[in-house]
Structure 1
Amino acid sequence: MGAIGIHRLYAALSALVLAFVLLPLGAIVWVSFFANRILSFPPTGYTLSWYGRAWEQEAFRNGFITSVETALCAVAISLVLGVPASLALVRYRFPGRDAIQTLLLAPMIVPGIVGGAALFIAFIEVEVLTDFEIAGTLGGLLIAHGLIALPWTVRLVTASLAGSNLSFEEAAASLGAGPFTVFRRVTLPLIRPAIVAAALFSFVISFIDLEKSIFLVGPGRTTLQIALVSYLEWNLDSTVAAVATVQILIIGTLLIVSDRYAKLARAF
């Protein structure tokens, strides 16, 4: 097989893999327009009514609002903790540095269901010892989502810092700029694209989380993912597909914008 044949085979395999990934998403979008009252194939017609029905559902509406608010808080937590941590890990050498880096990235490795159960048990233990309620509260949910987002912020910002030119910071320091001035005037502009990408990616990771939320969400509160699972227990129509389509559009847009600021493939 010549070079041209190998190239064509590689292109064909790549197209098959891409189709395998995209076809289920395309199917969900297609199903969201089915007019069938009970989800079935082929469709009897097409309609946009499922999108309006989804927004009329209080569980979906409240779940969407809660998911957005939680994701925004997770972004703030991950940036406040992740950016200084990344700066320390890249710019300084100290005992236990590798262990701290592994600890910060651990939530990325641990399966979500395991992490959610572990956090729930840990919160219960804290409640027993301190009589301070965490499990089932908004604070506990925000802590969990902050932990979800933190590793991705550390990963993206660390990669940006490692690839930046240290001589600019050294030049600013040699001209009399203090550490804070160097960070604000030199380091921060250099890593701003990574920070923006980290914020957007952290939002996505928090927004789509189900495993930790289902353990830690309190009574009277729900996230969009939990609302979807609960709806599917008793209903089989295109409302879920409509909600999923909106999520695909939101998440896809945020990932494209994130990749515009920092090439995600380089960080992973």
Structure 2
Amino acid sequence: MFLRLTDQPSLGRVLMRTLIAVAYLIIFAPVFMIVVTSFFAQEIISFPPPALSLQWYANAWHKPEFFRGLTTSLEVALLTAAIGVPIGTMAALAIVRGEFPGRGALSSFLLAPLAVPGVVAGSGLYMFYVMAEDFFDRDIKATTGGLVAAHTLLAIPWTVRLVVASLQGLDRRAEEAAANLGANPFTVFHRITLPMMRPGIVAAAMFSFIQSFENLDLSMLLVGPGRITLPVAMLNYLEFRIDPTLAAVATVQITLVGLLMVVTDRFVKLSRVV
């Protein structure tokens, strides 16, 4: 039986699928190489590897700076998400549902940190912390609180961006129906609005955690002895040694972030928000 002309893939469709496959290959090739390199037995990378081994994972496990960096990164990322997401959610709700002059300017102001390079933001925050320490006579930089405050400045724009997108796609007729049936504003928000906002809030929490957990350019200017994050610990290790230990640490980091995204997408479809 001959296929109909409409059943045959067109040249444009085949070309588009090929370009998409090439794009995915370019994106995931570095990640694949990092994971594969972490199992190489030799210290100096060469292809093909003479043998495979888990020694670099064991080497990373016995490096206390990596464990301390992982603990600090998890602590800072969790606190950043816990502080930045509620603030950003309230700001997004005010921007979308509020009626006051300057909403557009407020939205642009809250999203502005995303356009500032991390090194520039880190340098500015470092100088601000130095002046604040002189004024308040207490340590701010090289502390967990200083890192959390800096990372929160990036968590708020991500939250505003995602929650605003979530709110703009909501149907307000359910809220109006609940209000017409006698529900007070708090009940409408708690029972109707907040559940509908959940995908945007969960996605914002995930992105806030990830951007804090993997942040390097901002963190490396604000950490201190004994209080370094995992990316900074990896950078410090690279100054003295070049071996697959960093690939092993990066593989663990990629696995943690990947599991977080999979679990989040299991409960909240990220494609509806992002």
TM bracket, shorter-chain basis? over 0.9
Indicate the SS of the match to 1:234: coil
2:110: which partner in 1?
A: 104
Contact 1:127 1:134 in 2 (8 A): yes
Contact 1:258 1:264 in 2 (8 A): no
1:172: which partner in 2?
A: 178
Indicate the SS of the match to 2:218: helix
2:5: which partner in 1?
A: none
Aligned residues: percent identity? 49
Q: CA deviation at 1:207?
A: 0.5
**In structure 1, distance between residues paired with 2:228 and 2:271:** 30
Contact 2:85 2:208 in 1 (8 A): no
RMSD of aligned Cα (Å): 1.8
Q: CA deviation at 1:121?
A: 1.5
Over alpha carbons, which structure has the higher Rg? 2
Q: CA deviation at 1:266?
A: 5.0
Whichever structure has more helix as a proportion of its residues is: 1
1:130: which partner in 2?
A: 136
Q: CA deviation at 1:230?
A: 0.7
2:88: which partner in 1?
A: 82
What one-letter code is carried by the residue in structure 2 that aligns with 1:173? Answer: A
Contact 1:149 1:202 in 2 (8 A): yes
2:145: which partner in 1?
A: 139
Verify: 1:33 aligned to 2:39, yes or no. yes
Q: CA offsets, 1:119-141, max 9 Å, x none? A: 11122222333334322222111
Q: CA offsets, 1:202-254, max 9 Å, x none? A: 11111000011111113321110001111111111111001111111122232
Give the aligned length.
266
The range that moved more, 248-257 or 201-210, is 248-257
1:205: which partner in 2?
A: 211
The TM-score normalised by the length of structure 1 is: 0.93
**In structure 1, distance between residues paired with 2:237 and 2:181:** 62
For structure 1, the residue ranges without an aligned partner over 5 or more in a row are: none
Contact 2:166 2:273 in 1 (8 A): no
**In structure 1, distance between residues paired with 2:248 and 2:106:** 42
Q: CA deviation at 1:264?
A: 4.7
Runs of 4 or more above 6 Å deviation: none
Q: CA deviation at 1:258?
A: 4.1
